[in-house]
Amino acid sequence: MNSITERKRIYLSSPTMHGKEQEFVKEAFDTNWVAPLGPNVNGFEKELAEYTGASYAAALDSGTAAIHLALKLAGVKEGDIVFVPTLTFSATCNPVVYEKAVPVFIDSEADTWNMSPEALERAFEKYPLPKAVIVVHLYGTPAKLDEIMDICKKHGTTLIEDAAESLSSTYKGKQTGTFGKFGIYSFNGNKIITTSGGGMLVSEDEALIQRARFLSTQARDPARHYQHSQIGYNYRMSNITAGIGRGQLLSLEEHKRLKKAIYEKYREAFSDIGEIRMNPLNPEGDANCWLSCMTIAEGGKVEKDMVLDALEEENIEARPIWKPMHLQPVFADRDFITLCEGGKSLAEDIFNRGLCLPSDIKNTDEDMERIIRIVRGLFV
């Protein structure tokens, strides 16, 4: 087989449906609950809250919308400072700019690749009164939450957890997304469970979640006529989408088990190659291993683009690590706090040397052996 189209496509992380989703969607069609809101939305909120241990949840049309509403509910306004990790997807940071606030980017730490508590402390020294801190659990690995929560508590700053990538991951036995004032989840097509597109905002504060629901349905006042006293958003999840989510949630633990098995397969397969390091996992947590990642030591014969090219040539999808936000053209004028004096920051180093390996739970043993054989062939 010489043509790339003749080789089986292996995806980075594609949706996996089980049939249970159709039952909830069919019920919505049968009862004509096709319009926004309905029993599936209520059910998904309740079931997701029960799974995570959160008290209250609001189903929204994206994780980005959930971050945006969390910022608004935290009182973020024009000119306010918000601390955000630099090593993340842009959806973590963009909502800060929606509110005309100012993101200040924080470097990573080596143990988990997440926000560095030490760099966060330095950020507070430079900017003593930020309005909020957003922590991300990158690729499903819990951040150093004890340290970060202690810092936020000491400074009286609201903590928002971007758990878009870490649904089902735990830190000291508690679900990520439930440590901050607000937590957000994403159900985008490549996440550990999907609704095709959607998100959830969770909190222990019932009044804040009720307000999130109000703002996400165009902030319509409780009047007979259409009256609006403030700006709202069309952010609510649909009843159809929520039905998919309810079905997916039933398989979440199975998805997590398979994701972790993929990580372990790679870790074992590359354990004898000194140039390869798998992404670190927090020993105080239980990661969902949403994406399995690796870094390649500098100075050797293999660079990350060689691995990406070799896989692409075989019709296998892999991707670079997120490009740090402080290196993005759109954020070029924003401040970046790091402990690295001169040279590359830790986040930049991870980006330069790292890539995300195919982590699709539908991968067969043959698929995994094919991926591993290609990668190993470059090193040995």
**Would residue 104 count as lying in a domain?**
yes
Note whether 234 and 277 are same-domain residues: no
Nearest-CA neighbor of 24 among 252, 196, 239, 238? Answer: 239
Sheet with 170-171: strands ordered across: 174-175, 170-171, 285-286
Which is it for strands 293-296 and 276-278: parallel, antiparallel or unpaired? antiparallel
pLDDT at 37: 87
Residues 150 and 194 in one domain: yes
Residues 37 and 179 in one domain: yes
Dihedral of CA atoms 194, 198, 204, 209 in degrees, nearest 10, equals -160
Identify whether 181 is part of a domain: yes
List pLDDT tens digits, range 100-126.
999 999 999 999 999 999 999 999 999
Q: Which helix (H) or strand (E) holds 134?
A: strand 132-136
Backbone angles phi, psi at 278, to 5 degrees: -75, 155
Residue 287 falls inside a structural domain: yes
CATH number reported for the structural domain that contains residue 162 in this entry: 3.40.640.10
In this structure, are 208 and 304 located in the same domain?
A: no
Q: Is 265 found in the same domain as 241?
A: no
- Position 12: which residue type? L
Task: Please check whether residue 160 is in contact with residue 134, taking contact to mean a CB–CB distance below 8 angstroms.
Answer: yes
pLDDT value of residue 7: 86
Using CB atoms within 10 A of its CB, is residue 144 exposed (0-12), middle (13-18) or buried (19+)?
buried
Query: What DSSP assignment string belongs to 212-250?
Result: HHHHHBTT--SSSS---SS---B-BPBHHHHHHHHHHHT
Place of tokens 């601390």: 83
- Do the Cβ atoms of 200 and 49 come closer than 8 Å? no
Domain annotation covers residue 11: no
pLDDT in tens, 213-258: 999 999 999 888 999 999 999 999 999 999 999 999 999 999 999 9
Among 152, 347, 89, CA closest to 144 = 152
**Rounded distance between C-alpha atoms, residue 50 and residue 126, angstroms:** 40
The pLDDT assigned to 274 comes to 96
The count of structural domains within the chain is: 2
Q: What per-residue confidence (pLDDT) applies to 4?
A: 55
Out of 222, 249, 276, a domain closes at 249
Same domain as 126, residue 226: yes
- Domain boundary residue, one of 249, 277, 296: 249
Full residue range of the structural domain in which residue 361 is found: 252-379
Pick from 233, 249, 265: which residue ends a domain? 249
Residues of the chain predicted below pLDDT 70? 1-6
* Distances from the Cα of 358 to the Cα of 106, 163, 272, 375, angstroms: 28, 21, 20, 12
User: Is there a single domain that holds both residue 273 and residue 132?
Assistant: no
CATH label of the domain that carries residue 303: 3.90.1150.10
The pLDDT value given to residue 341: 84
Q: Which helix or strand (DSSP H or E) is residue 160 part of? A: strand 158-162
